[in-house]
């Protein structure tokens, strides 16, 4: 009976055009769009190397993030380097700026300070770079990164590459796809609920335990979701030529955990809310989009702001757990943070499943 | 006679509303029991309580000799249900829909295939096996809905208004199919607000109103509850008040109504009412186009018992 239900749920999900669009086609279309939009931007970023200075004081020497980042951004071996950096005393930096030999200089005290001569593209780039380095550092600090650094582990070697806008968007796209899988779970579970329509009533009066039916439906939804995710990975790797680096397997592992979290979120929405399919779909899409927004889909700054001011939100936000996992793969050589994110996703899935079970185990209804 | 269903003092309350009020009845093996009542009379609520889908406030329900519970899988295996709303998957074709629902009851594929083919024949869907629900007409969709509910050959079948919004041809096909199921030995509980269907199909009828049984029995038993014996209608023009008063004075006449060229006479009892009336019309040289006599219908019974039409 379990296999019978599993098999038919698979067929029902695969034949539902709307579900297939959102699960399979939409992420691929969005990925294509990202690739076209951001690869052009990155190709056009043929900026001249900017002359800058960094005040070589104690604060700078003690700040590994800034030190490593400016080293990478000024590395002569790096074809995409942004800066030619001089490490000087503060007075010398002022002098160079007055003489117009540099576009600006960085001074690290309690907070980083960028001094530029006049407003212009070079000064803006320096400011932007400093800000991004600061935000990345804050994210790492908020996620325990500094603890790892102080413990002797090393920051990942980023000297020969940098996390491009395209990659950030692809990581968020994967997170979004994981959570969109909730629609599959919701749809599959709805078919087993007598208060959701006659199909549910017909299933409920059959001589099959509800647990068996629900488990079969969830498993089928997960399989469909994983196939959708595999297609997305295959398309981005082989067609869009996205380079996930040498940690593709870990990325896939994270995506699988993310899919489970998204799926169970959808199941919980199906179980908890007594509403029609459209409203439930709306709830899942809204939660997903909000989660992705707070985790930095529309700009990494949002993740930084949330992590700094209301860290609890992103600790509960599955989209943030997924993107955080991707960033941790990029930033750290060690996998502690990554596994923490995987564990967080599994705990999230466990809690969602628990909530769903509490609701689904009821056998009779007050009204249907 | 063996009881397949025993309902005792069933009461279902929704906050202030008592949807089912102290209902007690039995369904005998092999019969078609009609649950007749207007919309909101408690028919579907009663069925949902019997099927253990709905919690109820008081009472007990036994099916096939055992107490009905949500996990009474042994009992559920013997039950087939056709709900009022069509319950099929848009993503599956006719055959696969039947296979899915039948598969919840019958594991063996070969048996399932045989049963499904039989149900397809019964529902007259032979030419539509590979059609998807959206390709079917309303009537065919209803037939599929029924076929999905009965393919596993249940002993007890609940049909909840299966002919709503169905064309006459499909309705006849469905009614023939239901008779065939009864002939095969199934016990059927049939809810409807179409009295004609009840009169054609049901061995016994329970009339519900406001969640209570207001009458029950065979068609003839119920009709005896009506105070009227015969209705005579005469299509005639320009009938004066004098004649109407004289007809009112006839023996056994309960009431006389004349409007829009139609004279309607209700008789309480009597066997020669029509002959007497025709003699009078001839004697008074009153011309008429048509004259016909009817026995009271269940609708008349319902009207008399509740003061309203079945389809109100």
Query: ipTM of this predicted complex?
Result: 0.82
Residues A23-34 have a mean pLDDT of 89
Residues B215-229 have a mean pLDDT of 83
User: From the candidates A21, A201, A362, which should be mutated to test the interface with B, based on the most B CB atoms within 10 A?
Assistant: A201
Quick count: other Cβ atoms within 10 Å of Cβ A65? Answer: 19
Residues B56-77 have a mean pLDDT of 94
Nearest Cα to Cα of residue A7 among B162, B100, B3, B257: B100
Query: What CATH number is attached to the domain comprising B279?
Result: 3.30.70.100
Report pLDDT digits (tens) over B264-274.
998 887 778 88
Residues B143 and B267 in one domain: no
Window 131-170 of A, Cβ < 8 Å to B: none
CB of B183 within 8 Å of any CB in chain A?
no
CB of B15 within 8 Å of any CB in chain A?
no
CB of B49 within 8 Å of any CB in chain A?
no
| pLDDT mean across residues, chain A | 83
Q: Does B308 reside within a domain?
A: no
Residues B144 and B181 in one domain: yes
CB of B52 within 8 Å of any CB in chain A?
yes
Q: Residue A43's pLDDT is what?
A: 61
Residue B190 predicted with pLDDT over 50: yes
H or E stretch covering B257:
strand B253-259
* Subunit contact A202:B105, Cβ cutoff 8 A: no
Residues A27-34 have a mean pLDDT of 89
Report pLDDT digits (tens) over A308-353.
788 888 888 999 899 888 888 876 777 888 999 999 999 999 999 9
Q: Does B300 reside within a domain?
A: no
* Subunit contact B76:A205, Cβ cutoff 8 A: yes
CB of A207 within 8 Å of any CB in chain B?
yes
Residues B146 and B43 in one domain: yes
Residue A133 predicted with pLDDT over 90: no
Residues B213 and B291 in one domain: no
Residue of B nearest to A14 (CA): B91
Region for B239 from its dihedrals, namely left if φ exceeds 0, alpha if ψ lies in -120 to 50, beta otherwise: beta
Residues B266 and B219 in one domain: no
CB of A198 within 8 Å of any CB in chain B?
yes
Measured at the CA of A360, the angle between CA B97 and CA A279, to 5 degrees, comes to 75
**Separation in Å, CA of B130 to nearest CA in chain A:** 15
* Subunit contact B76:A206, Cβ cutoff 8 A: yes
Which of A112-126, A338-352, B223-237 reaches the highest mean pLDDT?
Answer: A338-352
**Residue A269 — pLDDT band, cuts 50, 70, 90?**
very high
| pLDDT mean across residues, chain B | 90
Q: Does B11 reside within a domain?
A: yes
Q: Residue A164's pLDDT is what?
A: 62
**Separation in Å, CA of B47 to nearest CA in chain A:** 11
Q: Residue A81's pLDDT is what?
A: 77
Residues A94-111 have a mean pLDDT of 86
Q: Does B301 reside within a domain?
A: no
Q: Which residues pair with B191 in a beta bridge?
A: B35, B160
* Domains of chain A listed by start with CATH number: 2-39+162-362 (no CATH), 47-150 (3.40.190.10)
Residues B126 and B161 in one domain: yes
Residue of A nearest to B87 (CA): A199
Sort out which chain B residues have CB atoms less than 8 A from A11's CB and list them: 91-92, 96
Task: Enumerate residues 6+ apart whose C-beta is below 8 A from B173.
Answer: B123, B124, B139, B143
Residues B146 and B277 in one domain: no
CB of B292 within 8 Å of any CB in chain A?
no
Q: Residue A150's pLDDT is what?
A: 34
Sort out which chain A residues have CB atoms less than 8 A from B142's CB and list them: none
Domain end (from B205, B223, B241): B223
Report pLDDT digits (tens) over A36-59.
877 666 666 555 788 899 999 888
Q: What is the extent of the structural domain holding B62?
A: 3-223
For chain B, the straight-line distance linking the first and the last C-alpha, in angstroms and rounded, comes to: 35
Residue A145 predicted with pLDDT over 50: no
Residue B63 predicted with pLDDT over 60: yes
Report pLDDT digits (tens) over B122-141.
899 999 999 999 999 998 99
**Residue A241 — pLDDT band, cuts 50, 70, 90?**
confident
Alpha helices in chain B (DSSP H): 43-50, 73-76, 94-103, 109-123, 138-150, 168-183, 195-201, 219-225, 241-248, 273-283, 298-306
Q: Residue B86's pLDDT is what?
A: 93
Residues B176 and B86 in one domain: yes
User: pLDDT > 70: what percent of chain A?
Assistant: 86
Report pLDDT digits (tens) over B86-113.
999 999 999 999 999 999 999 999 999 9
Residues B166 and B239 in one domain: no
Report pLDDT digits (tens) over A167-197.
777 888 898 999 989 999 999 898 888 888 8
Q: Residue B219's pLDDT is what?
A: 86
Domain end (from B181, B200, B223): B223
Residues B119 and B246 in one domain: no
CB of B188 within 8 Å of any CB in chain A?
no
Domain end (from B169, B194, B223): B223
Q: Are strands A104-108 and A50-55 parallel, antiparallel or unpaired?
A: parallel
Residue of B nearest to A367 (CA): B54
Residues A97-109 have a mean pLDDT of 87
Residue B144 predicted with pLDDT over 90: yes
Considering CB atoms only, which of B71, B83, B107 is closest to A201? B83
Nearest Cα to Cα of residue A185 among A225, A129, A149: A225
CB of A212 within 8 Å of any CB in chain B?
no
* Subunit contact A201:B87, Cβ cutoff 8 A: yes
Residues B218 and B241 in one domain: no
User: pLDDT > 90: what percent of chain B?
Assistant: 64
Residue A64 predicted with pLDDT over 50: yes
Sort out which chain B residues have CB atoms less than 8 A from A208's CB and list them: 73, 104
Find the radius of gyration of the CA atoms of chain A: 25
Residues B132-155 have a mean pLDDT of 94
CB of B71 within 8 Å of any CB in chain A?
yes
* Subunit contact B96:A366, Cβ cutoff 8 A: no
CA A346 to chain centre: 16
Domains in chain B: how many in total?
2
Considering CB atoms only, which of A1, A12, A198 is closest to B104? A1
Q: Does B195 reside within a domain?
A: yes
Residue A9 predicted with pLDDT over 80: yes
**Contact status, residue A307 vs residue A142, Cβ threshold 8 Å:** yes
CB of B120 within 8 Å of any CB in chain A?
no
Between A21-25, A242-246, B16-20, the lowest mean confidence (pLDDT) is in A242-246
Considering CB atoms only, which of B53, B79, B103 is closest to A365? B53
* Subunit contact A208:B73, Cβ cutoff 8 A: yes
Residues A272-296 have a mean pLDDT of 87
Q: Does B307 reside within a domain?
A: no
Residues A134-151 have a mean pLDDT of 51
3-state secondary structure of B303: helix
Report pLDDT digits (tens) over B238-266.
788 999 999 999 988 988 999 989 999 98
CB of A275 within 8 Å of any CB in chain B?
no
**Residue A152 — pLDDT band, cuts 50, 70, 90?**
very low
Residues B178 and B209 in one domain: yes
Residue A364 predicted with pLDDT over 80: no
Q: Does B302 reside within a domain?
A: no
H or E stretch covering A156:
none
Query: What CATH number is attached to the domain comprising B30?
Result: 3.40.50.300
Considering CB atoms only, which of A4, A202, A368 is closest to B103? A4
Residues B270-289 have a mean pLDDT of 88
Considering CB atoms only, which of A16, A202, A364 is closest to B91? A16
Q: Does B311 reside within a domain?
A: no
Q: Residue A217's pLDDT is what?
A: 93
**Residue A153 — pLDDT band, cuts 50, 70, 90?**
very low
Nearest Cα to Cα of residue A187 among A153, A228, A221, A212: A221
Chains A and B form CB pairs within 8 A to the count of 87
* Subunit contact B149:A363, Cβ cutoff 8 A: no
């Amino acid at each position: 009976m379990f296999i019978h239900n599993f098999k038919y749920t698979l067929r029902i999900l695969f034949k539902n055009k709307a579900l297939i669009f959102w699960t399979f086609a939409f992420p691929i279309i969005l990925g294509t769009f990202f690739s076209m939009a951001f690869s052009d931007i990155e190709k056009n970023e043929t900026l001249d190397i900017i002359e800058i200075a960094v005040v070589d004081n104690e604060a700078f020497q003690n700040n590994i993030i800034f030190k490593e980042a400016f080293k990478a951004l000024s590395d002569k071996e790096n074809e995409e380097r942004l800066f030619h950096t001089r490490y000087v005393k503060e007075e010398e930096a002022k002098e160079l700026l007055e003489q117009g030999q540099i576009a600006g200089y960085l001074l690290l005290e309690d907070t980083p300070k960028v001094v530029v001569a006049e407003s212009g593209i070079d000064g803006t780039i320096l400011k932007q770079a400093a800000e991004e380095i600061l935000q990345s550092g804050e994210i790492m600090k908020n996620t325990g990164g500094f603890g790892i650094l102080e413990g002797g582990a090393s920051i990942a070697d980023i000297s020969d590459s940098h996390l491009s806008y395209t990659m950030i968007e692809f990581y968020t796209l994967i997170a979004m796809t994981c959570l969109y899988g909730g629609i599959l779970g919701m749809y599959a579970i709805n078919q087993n609920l007598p208060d959701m329509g006659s199909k549910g009533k017909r299933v409920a009066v059959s001589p099959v335990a509800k647990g068996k039916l629900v488990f079969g439906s969830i498993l089928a939804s997960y399989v469909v979701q994983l196939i959708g995710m595999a297609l997305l990975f295959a398309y981005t790797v082989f067609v869009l030529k996205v380079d996930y680096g040498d940690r593709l397997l870990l990325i896939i592992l994270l995506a699988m955990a993310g899919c489970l979290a998204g799926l169970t979120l959808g199941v919980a929405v199906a179980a908890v809310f007594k509403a029609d399919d459209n409203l439930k779909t709306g709830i899942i899409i809204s939660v997903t989009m909000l989660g992705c927004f707070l985790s930095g889909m529309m700009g990494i700054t949002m993740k930084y702001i949330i992590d700094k001011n209301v860290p609890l939100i992103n600790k509960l936000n599955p989209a943030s757990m997924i993107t955080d996992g991707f960033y941790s793969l990029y930033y750290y050589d060690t996998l502690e943070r990554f596994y923490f994110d995987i564990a967080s996703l599994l705990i999230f899935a466990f809690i969602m499943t628990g909530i769903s079970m509490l609701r689904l185990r009821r056998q009779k209804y007050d009204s249907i | 006679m063996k009881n397949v269903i025993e309902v005792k003092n069933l009461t279902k309350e929704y906050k202030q509303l008592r949807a089912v009020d102290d209902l007690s009845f039995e369904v005998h093996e092999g019969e078609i029991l009609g649950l007749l009542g207007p919309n909101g009379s408690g028919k579907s609520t009663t069925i949902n309580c019997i099927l253990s889908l709905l919690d109820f406030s008081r009472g007990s329900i036994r099916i096939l000799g055992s107490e009905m519970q949500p996990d009474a899988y042994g009992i559920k295996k013997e039950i087939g249900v056709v709900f009022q709303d069509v319950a099929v998957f848009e993503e599956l074709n006719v055959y696969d829909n039947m296979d899915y629902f039948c598969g919840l009851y019958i594991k063996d594929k070969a048996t399932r295939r045989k049963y499904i083919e039989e149900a397809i024949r019964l529902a007259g869907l032979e030419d539509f096996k590979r059609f998807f629900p959206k390709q079917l007409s309303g009537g065919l969709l209803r037939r599929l809905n029924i076929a999905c509910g009965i393919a596993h050959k249940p002993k007890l079948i609940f049909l909840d208004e299966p002919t709503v919004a169905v064309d006459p041809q499909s309705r006849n096909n469905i009614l023939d199919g239901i008779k065939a199921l009864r002939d095969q030995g199934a016990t059927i509980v049939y809810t409807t607000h179409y009295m004609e269907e009840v009169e054609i199909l049901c061995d016994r009828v329970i009339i519900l109103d406001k969640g209570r049984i207001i009458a029950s029995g065979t068609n003839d038993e119920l009709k005896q509850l009506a105070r009227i014996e015969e209705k005579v209608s005469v299509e005639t023009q320009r009938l004066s008040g004098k004649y109407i008063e004289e007809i009112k004075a006839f023996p056994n006449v309960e009431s006389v109504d004349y409007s829009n060229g139609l004279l309607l006479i209700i008789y309480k009892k009597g066997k020669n009412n029509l002959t007497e009336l025709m003699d009078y019309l001839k004697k008074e040289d009153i011309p008429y186009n048509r004259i016909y006599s009817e026995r009271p219908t269940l609708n008349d019974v319902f009207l008399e018992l509740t003061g309203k039409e079945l389809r109100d």
